[in-house]
Amino acid sequence: MTDGVFENLEDGDYSFVYMNVDDGADNSVLSVEDFEGSKQLKVDVQDNTLVPKVWFDLYKMADKATVAKINTIEFDVTLAPKEAGGTVGWAGGAIGSAGSFPDQTNPDWSQTDWSCTDENAYNPDGIAKCHVEKKFLLPTSKYTEASENPFFGIMRWAAESPYVMYIDNIVLYDESGTALPLTGSAAPAGDSTTSSAGTGNAAAASIAAVMALAGTVAIVAKKRK
């Protein structure tokens, strides 16, 4: 991957990210932190029995024509226990997407399940690494230029112990597998054209109540919006 086609957060800007804090969601704290040699989006989960729902505003990452070409979204997720001797445990959830909110049309909500297979998740103080992806297999699930404010988001189902989650290396691919260019606030360092990282939490505050997902882990895991 080369500069201009993936988001590695080295410029510290996360203004294209916000938390959906509807029923059953955790009000996680977002920041960018140096972690394992690079700057990554840190999702500091406040209540591990709830579901962090990290939403990404695509029109702050790419223009309309580019977003309409998205066929696959990939990124890296790392989970680490907060407490000394703690474990991440089983980690999994869903990556969801829609073309607008709150009505979620053009396209309607769709989601892809993910799970982490890193055995370090079960080791005390172990850090679990996952590479996750969402493929848009059905034409009706793909973004269009009629999408008003398209987004995608990652959710992790409730956990047994406190943890933090890191997100890095976000890549958008077209149907041929070519990485699409990023623009705006999500462009790599030196190309950013919008506001600073602090607006990430401002966005969260203004959109806090607009998405509705299931309230409990059992329901969330089964229910599609």
Taking only the tens place, the pLDDT of each residue in 169-184 is: 999 999 999 999 998 5
Taking only the tens place, the pLDDT of each residue in 34-76 is: 999 999 999 999 999 999 999 999 999 999 999 999 999 999 9
Q: E strands within 82-225? A: 92-98, 110-115, 128-135, 151-156, 163-173
Query: Which residue ranges form the domains of the chain, and what is each CATH number?
Result: 6-222 (2.60.120.260)
pLDDT at 105: 84
Are 207 and 21 in contact by the 8 Å Cβ rule? The answer is: no
The helix/strand/coil state of 224 is: coil
